[in-house]
Amino acid sequence: MSQYVLPDLPYDYAALEPAITGEILELHHSKHHAAYVKGANDTLERLAETREKDDFSGLVGLEKTFAFNLSGHVLHTMFWDNLSPDGGGRPDGELAAAITEHFGSFDAFAKQLTAATAGVQGSGWGVLAWEPLSQRLIVEQVYDHHGNVGMNTTPVLVFDAWEHAYYLQYRNVRPDYVQKLWTLVDWADVTRRFDAARAGATGLIAPSK
């Protein structure tokens, strides 16, 4: 039985045009995200075989592969819900107040997340996360899917900076793609995750749409 399942997108593949083309979104979801789901499930099976055979000689590689694929599945599942054809603008309420408190202003936060996303060396993500120890919002620059992350932080808004997310449309100009991502942000979804994270719940709560 598969532990992880590729979720349907909450909108059509062409729904985020012109910011993201339908061709990119279909490949991204049906090929790239699907590969992480398969990778996580396959690695779980190999871990089970490892235990059955009582041969842990390959464990280090399996643990690394599992972290990579599971984190890829988690981040993409969030990414789709963080975006909306009706997105853009700015948050309000307690999320807006927290952003101002922890970053100085919305503009300063947006510049930091934009720079974190556009400046990833290689493949990675820009992430707005809740850090529960100091009870604050932080920006993280994630490498691959799971590197450079503060332990126990909960992502609430994730920007995919892998070339597969934009290269067919934006070529080498990643900053232009990141600017367009801001026009798609579903602040209601981000707010829901922010509220859940502050309450101590997992960030990967059930999709809202």
**CB nearer Mn ion, residue 81 or residue 160:** 160
Give the nearest distance from C-beta 55 to Mn ion in angstroms: 33
The residues of the shown chain that bind Mn ion, judged by CB under 5 A, are: 160, 162, 165
**CB nearer Mn ion, residue 140 or residue 160:** 160
Residues 168/23, Cβ–Cβ less than 8 Å: yes
Give the nearest distance from C-beta 183 to Mn ion in angstroms: 19
Give the nearest distance from C-beta 51 to Mn ion in angstroms: 31
**CB nearer Mn ion, residue 95 or residue 165:** 165
Which amino acid makes up residue 62?
A: L
Q: Report how far residue 79's alpha carbon sits from residue 161's, in angstroms, rounded to the nearest whole number.
A: 11
Please provide residue 145's backbone torsions phi and psi, each rounded to the nearest 5 degrees.
-120, -5
Q: Report how far residue 41's alpha carbon sits from residue 70's, in angstroms, rounded to the nearest whole number.
A: 9
Q: How far is CA 99 from CA 69, 107, 129, 135, in A?
A: 30, 10, 11, 12
List the structure tokens of 41.
């499930």
**CB nearer Mn ion, residue 10 or residue 132:** 10
Residue nearest to Mn ion (CB): 160
Give the nearest distance from C-beta 117 to Mn ion in angstroms: 12
